[in-house]
A and B are shown apart, each in its own frame.
Chain A
């Protein structure tokens, strides 16, 4: 009688088929994953350090395939840290956000802007801290911004926006004209790079000690390109260099129309202009 119900348990063929399919798809999926990552469509798993910093809820959401939602939640949280001026918390939030979505340019731009511009500005005026501490933290935040920018550029080598944000830190906060010129130079020709970066590369080169001759050659070459490049600042910079380098008068560029307005400095970003030169209405 017992033989009647001793049928082959169904779990055996089911597990066998599952295992066979799992073994067969393994290499195919690994290949696909590599190609998707290479095409920037798939993000590799976040670094272990990022996981260690995550709270349980964020970790669960990330593991559950809700990475974009987790990243958005954390960037909203970062905005909250911005409003309370909790810069270290903001940096920690962005460490995770950029690990979760390393290919999202807006995260890199935002964190460089927050740390490099907002946090440093706050250190300049925060009366609660002694001057020495403010200065130390000012530098700390500026260098953290530079570090984020460099990591962002490594992830998105074609990004003009991250470089333009980085250059603001060098230019406005660290007053490092040589670095500003270098970054402007790196930005030339990148997709989405504004036309002014070629001129600005020259302007800051001119202010970089030891590179005046190079800057003069570069700016005059731009000048010769035609009217589109002959902005008042360009003319002013060339004229300053002509004087500084003692360029003979016949070789100098013609005097510009005296009635033309001559701003004596590069256009500064107004209060309603955000990272990447974006204007907030």
Chain B
């Protein structure tokens, strides 16, 4: 289903954004001569510490902010063009939607803003509620939603008009590990369904799990960019993970390595991450509580 097209989903060229500090003639360069492309159908992650210019870049791509210099294009259109925004679904960091609306009303509201009406909108609303696993909370007001639920309804509203590009700003910020996992699964599902995903995060491990390509931004400048393999593989080193290996087998392997002139740099038991462990425990607990 992945669809590669010649027009990139996002094309940022020589983007510079300067903010003036009040009435004083002082300026801050938030983004400095930044260029990158997000190809259609890929998951692109822009990573960097807080204040590195990620959100500013995103806002320029969304047309919420004007570039001081350079340009940002979405599917070949200037980012300020309203047609470009019809192709974008955006989930801001820590989104606060209208608390007085229910989940279903929220989706209908954003759907109507995109020109959707009637049965098509009702069908899309039901689909999305199912997709983000909020069917049970569809008629509950957002004021009573947890952070993870808000993030998921936010993702659903981003997808309401079938955009080709989904922009996610810190999609898992402040969400517990299970909610975070759900969101990551959703991102992977979106990729499989052919959406282009452009996300910003400072949680490197999560980016690593979902992104095809990553750009590392620091102090407004692109420091490294490439596929994950390109960026994190260590040339000349290989990892071998065995299961059920006897001490004798391990001894023979060590001897062979030494004969070949190579060197064993590290040896031990692979560890699961604390996050993985937490999810396993939670899932096991869930299964035990299931009525038999």
Question: What residues of chain A have their CB less than 8 Å away from a CB belonging to chain B?
Answer: 1, 4-5
A5 to B27, alpha carbons, bound, how many Å?
9
Q: Which residue of A lies closest to B68 (CB)?
A: A4
Query: In this complex, what residue of A is CB-closest to B16?
Result: A4
Residues of chain B in range 1-58 having any CB-CB distance to chain A below 8 Å:
16, 18, 20, 27
Number of interface residues of B (CB under 8 A): 6
User: Do most interface residues of chain A lie in helix, strand or loop, or is the interface mixed?
Assistant: helix
Asked whether A5 lies within 8 Å of B16 as measured between CB atoms, the reply is no
User: What's the nearest-Cβ distance from chain A to residue B114, in Å?
Assistant: 29
A148 CA to B68 CA, complexed, in Å: 70
| Chain B contacts for A4, CB-based, 8 A | 16, 18, 68-69
The residue on A at minimum CB distance from B17 is A4
| A4 to B18 alpha-carbon distance, docked (Å) | 8
Instruction: Report B's interface with A, CB cutoff 8 A.
Output: 16, 18, 20, 27, 68-69
Closest CB pairs A-B (n = 8): A4-B68, A5-B18, A4-B69, A5-B20, A4-B18, A5-B68, A5-B27, A4-B16
Across-interface contacts of A5 in B (CB, < 8 A): 18, 20, 27, 68
Alpha-carbon separation in the docked complex, A4 to B31 (Å): 13
Nearest Cβ on chain A to B34's Cβ, whole angstroms: 14
Closest Cβ of chain A: how far from B211's Cβ, in Å? Answer: 31
Which B residues are in CB contact (< 8 Å) with A1?
Answer: 18
A1–B68 Cα distance when bound, in Å, is: 9
Nearest-Cβ distance from residue B132 to partner chain A, whole angstroms: 40
Taking the nearest CB of chain A, how far is it from the CB of B97, in angstroms?
Answer: 29
Cα distance, A4 to B29, chains bound together (Å):
11
Residue of A nearest to B69 (CB): A4
| Interface pairs (6), CB distance under 8 Å | A4-B16, A4-B68, A4-B69, A5-B18, A5-B27, A5-B68
Query: What residues of A have a CB within 8 angstroms of the CB of B20 in the complex?
Result: 5
A5 CA / B20 CA spacing, docked (Å):
8
Q: Determine the distance from Cα of A5 to Cα of B16 in the docked complex, in whole angstroms.
A: 11
Q: How far apart are the CA atoms of A1 and B69 in the complex, in Å?
A: 9
Chain A residues with Cβ below 8 Å from B18 are 1, 4-5
